[in-house]
Amino acid sequence: MAKPFTPKVVTANALLEGDVIYQTATGWTRDLTQAEVLTDEADADLRLIDASQQVDLVVGVYLADVDPDPVPQPVHFREAFRAKGPSNYAHGKQETL
Amino acid sequence: MYSYTEFDDAFLAERNAQFRAQVERRIDGSLTEDEFKPLRLMNGLYLQLHAYMLRVAIPYGTLNSTQMHKLADIAEKWDKGYGHFTTRQNIQYNWPQLRDVPDMLDALAEVNMHAIQTSGNTIRNVTADHFAGAAADEVADPRPVAELIRQWSTDHPEFQFLPRKFKVAVSGAPHDRAVIKAHDIGLQIVERDGVLGFQVIVGGGLGRTPMIGKVLYDFVASEDLLPTLEAIVSVYNLLGRRDNKYKARIKITVHENGIDDIRARVDARYALIRPQFTGVDQQMLSRIEADFAKPTFKTAPLDAYTTAYDNDPVFRSWADTNLADHHAPGYAIVSISLKAHGATPGDATAHQMHVMADIAAQYGHDELRISHEQNVILPHVHRNDLPTLHAALKSAGLATANIGLISDIIACPGMDYCALATARSIPIAQEIATRFDELKLEHEVGPLKIKISGCINACGHHHVGHIGILGLDRAGVENYQITLGGDGTQDAAIGERAGPGFSADEIIPAIERLVRGYLDLRSEPTETFLQTYRRLGLAPFKAALYPEARANAA
């Protein structure tokens, strides 16, 4: 039996700034909590294809697992660092969060 | 040191203009990421976890003060005010934006620097002994030949698409400070019957399949070196495996075919290409050698040094730990630690870079080096200038007396920055250094090299650490494996895995148990960690690491 589909967001790096971005219903956000959570596998595949076609905006799109409640939160520690920034300096997203 | 010719300047200007146009074409959508990626990598530009990263080559680790000032200016203008010095004598900027990178490369070109071939399946930045030209044990300065290799390998038309990356290191001394046995090619300058030549070692490397390099030739005459290198890389280019990325390095080619088979192939290729080397390279080498003429050393009294050494315990501790023997009387080689307890190994702020550049200009014959151990070296300082120099370093937070000690840790950027990492390295290094500083134990422990990698690729050289730490992802949790007894010197050895890994919370106490275990095991205070390990083997260290296993067995 196939593994049940778990909630995901579409994520990538911005082409110009290189920083981490997440797909919303209408565009992109730099804040994971504002990302669009995808709960249907077919829908997620379509959203991923849509994102990967935006070659002049984003690089390296993929689906990342999230815990959706109450707002999207990272599941894996790698995604937690991407959502926050490095642990040795208060640089990256944590500068503005 | 080497100064660019008109040819070098023109080549770099053209290359930078090409890359500027490529960036523009990427931004306006004419190039896809798949098309752009190999082009940006050829110019040292990665896309990491949080941002782009620009890796700038510091050939054979040698810089002058103007270059160091420029690295600081770039950090201030286009990054977040600091840079990260790496185990391959490069500097990495962690936060550039794509549009700014062509300007950063132009700024580097102003001081004869570039980021070419710091990535991609090419011959990478040629590294060398960071004490080159200064060390008391040196047979000859390895930097002229390293510069010759840089020129030969840069944009070499045959070697732009090798099966995998290719790293060359050169040492001119019997004590190997350049880890030459863990490189694709390691070269050691040796003397035979009064003539200088090269011992050629191939097939070393770390990563997921660590190998100690094997001797291909005991002695290659200077004029035969470049054709020999060309023959080796040429054989590898055809024979190296392109079907499997993990088996593509020359260490696997040598391992699978055997050193004798490789030698026969290199001999055949050499015979074919040797006539093409008509001696132009040797003329170039003589011009390069003139650029590396030794500075004029002064004769001066040592009273200021002696007074400070006898009366200032802080200075004495620093001098005992951070100085190495220089070949010129009255001089010392200064290692500036970029490992202040709790700081990120290898990071320097723009201010610190400016301070080191000024000190080098004033007291150090305008020379600086970057070591593969992520520290900065002032190779030529008269001992009488050391007290003033030490005070200047101290005021910039650069006077940590820990070279070669437990807190002088190599750590790769790990998952705090690197897209390939499986766990973090930097916080582990910070916590170990902070812990042993609290315990005030590190001088008692003595020489001990801890090296930390955040993934199997081993940028942090964990396989050759006396204590190696490898960070992995075990079912979504950071986990750290310990290896023991590794050695990156002339007695190179790959560390042995100690046993099951530790969580991020458990790893610092585990290292503390291990080090306390060593203090109990050593035969006398002068027996180092590595000597004790070699005398006793893994078992007693393992018992110190895993006390519960011992209790369960009892």
Please give the helix or strand (H or E) that residue B428 lies within, else none.
helix B426-439
Q: Does B506 lie in the same domain as B423?
A: yes
pLDDT of residue B317 exceeding 80, the answer is: yes
Q: Using an 8 Å Cβ cutoff, are B463 and B210 in contact?
A: yes
Per-residue pLDDT band for B552 (boundaries 50, 70, 90) equals low
Q: Does B427 lie in the same domain as B355?
A: no
Q: Does B87 lie in the same domain as B20?
A: yes
What's the domain range around A84?
A: 8-95
pLDDT of residue B333 exceeding 60, the answer is: yes
Per-residue pLDDT band for B550 (boundaries 50, 70, 90) equals low
pLDDT of residue B1 exceeding 90, the answer is: no
In whole angstroms, give the CA distance from residue B175 to residue B227. 26
B46/A contact by beta carbon, under 8 A: no
B426/A contact by beta carbon, under 8 A: yes
Q: B133 in a domain, yes or no?
A: no
Q: Does B262 lie in the same domain as B193?
A: yes
Residue of A nearest to B344 (CA): A88
The 10s digit of each residue's pLDDT in B440-496 is 999 999 999 999 999 999 999 999 999 999 999 999 999 999 999 999 999 999 999
pLDDT at position A1: 63
Looking at B362, B395, B428, the residue that finishes a domain is: B395
Residue of A nearest to B345 (CA): A88
Give Cα separations from B361 to B257, B274, B354, B356 (angstroms): 50, 43, 11, 9
Q: Does B526 lie in the same domain as B467?
A: yes
In whole angstroms, give the CA distance from residue B169 to residue B182. 9
Give Cα separations from A73 to A14, A80, A81, B177, B452 (angstroms): 20, 8, 11, 46, 29
Evaluate the CA torsion angle B380, B382, B385, B386 in order and state its sign. positive
Question: Distance between alpha carbon B406 and the CA centroid of its chain, in Å?
Answer: 18
Looking at B291, B325, B356, the residue that finishes a domain is: B291
Q: Does B242 lie in the same domain as B313?
A: no
CB < 8 Å to B28, chain A: 56
pTM of the predicted structure, to 2 decimals: 0.96
- B123-138 average pLDDT score: 97
Q: B117 in a domain, yes or no?
A: no
Q: A50 in a domain, yes or no?
A: yes
Residue of B nearest to A92 (CA): B50
Burial class (CB in 10 A: 0-12, 13-18, 19+), A4: exposed
Residue B267's Cβ-side half-sphere holds a number of Cα atoms within 13 Å equal to 8
In whole angstroms, give the CA distance from residue B355 to residue B362. 11
What is the longest distance spanned by two Cα atoms in chain B? 74
Q: Does B208 lie in the same domain as B152?
A: yes
A87 contacts B27? CB cut-off 8 A: no
- A3-21 average pLDDT score: 96
Q: B153 in a domain, yes or no?
A: yes
- B351-357 average pLDDT score: 98
Question: What ipTM, to 2 d.p.?
Answer: 0.96
Q: How far is B347 from chain A (nearest CA, A)?
A: 11
Contacts A–B by Cβ distance under 8 A: 75
Please give the helix or strand (H or E) that residue B397 lies within, else none.
none
A17 contacts B478? CB cut-off 8 A: no
pLDDT at position B553: 60
The CATH number of the domain holding residue B374 is: 3.90.480.20
CB < 8 Å to B47, chain A: 13, 18, 59-60
The number of distinct structural domains making up chain A is 1
pLDDT of residue B549 exceeding 80, the answer is: no
Q: A69 in a domain, yes or no?
A: yes
The 10s digit of each residue's pLDDT in B82-97 is 999 999 999 999 999 9
Q: Does B528 lie in the same domain as B416?
A: yes
Q: A72 in a domain, yes or no?
A: yes
- Tell me what percent of the residues of chain B surpass a pLDDT of 90: 99
pLDDT at position B548: 83
Q: A3 in a domain, yes or no?
A: no
Q: Does B523 lie in the same domain as B488?
A: yes
pLDDT at position B551: 61
The CATH number of the domain holding residue B501 is: 3.30.413.10
Q: Which tops the pLDDT comparison, B552 or B361?
A: B361
Q: A42 in a domain, yes or no?
A: yes
- B22-46 average pLDDT score: 96
Q: Report the length, in residues, of chain A.
A: 97
CB < 8 Å to A56, chain B: 27-29
Q: Where are the alpha helices (DSSP H) in chain A?
A: 41-52, 77-84
Contacts of B3 (CB under 8 A, 6+ apart): B112, B291
In whole angstroms, give the CA distance from residue B452 to residue B114. 28
Q: Does B100 lie in the same domain as B76?
A: yes
Q: A59 in a domain, yes or no?
A: yes
What's the domain range around B66?
A: 6-110
Q: B122 in a domain, yes or no?
A: no
The number of distinct structural domains making up chain B is 4
The 10s digit of each residue's pLDDT in B146-198 is 999 999 999 999 999 999 999 999 999 999 999 999 999 999 999 999 999 99
The 10s digit of each residue's pLDDT in B199-244 is 999 999 999 999 999 999 999 999 999 999 999 999 999 999 999 9
Q: Using an 8 Å Cβ cutoff, are B58 and B19 in contact?
A: no
Q: B474 in a domain, yes or no?
A: yes
Q: Does B376 lie in the same domain as B313?
A: yes
- B46-54 average pLDDT score: 98
Tell me the average pLDDT of chain A. Answer: 96
Burial class (CB in 10 A: 0-12, 13-18, 19+), B27: middle
CB < 8 Å to A89, chain B: 80, 344
Q: B516 in a domain, yes or no?
A: yes
pLDDT at position B71: 98
Q: How far is B416 from chain A (nearest CA, A)?
A: 4
Q: Which tops the pLDDT comparison, A4 or B533?
A: B533
B219/A contact by beta carbon, under 8 A: no
pLDDT at position B80: 98
The 10s digit of each residue's pLDDT in B502-534 is 999 999 999 999 999 999 999 999 999 999 999
Q: Which tops the pLDDT comparison, B1 or B176?
A: B176
Q: B349 in a domain, yes or no?
A: yes
Contacts of B156 (CB under 8 A, 6+ apart): B123
Q: B405 in a domain, yes or no?
A: no
A20 contacts B49? CB cut-off 8 A: yes
The CATH number of the domain holding residue B38 is: 3.30.70
Q: A1 in a domain, yes or no?
A: no
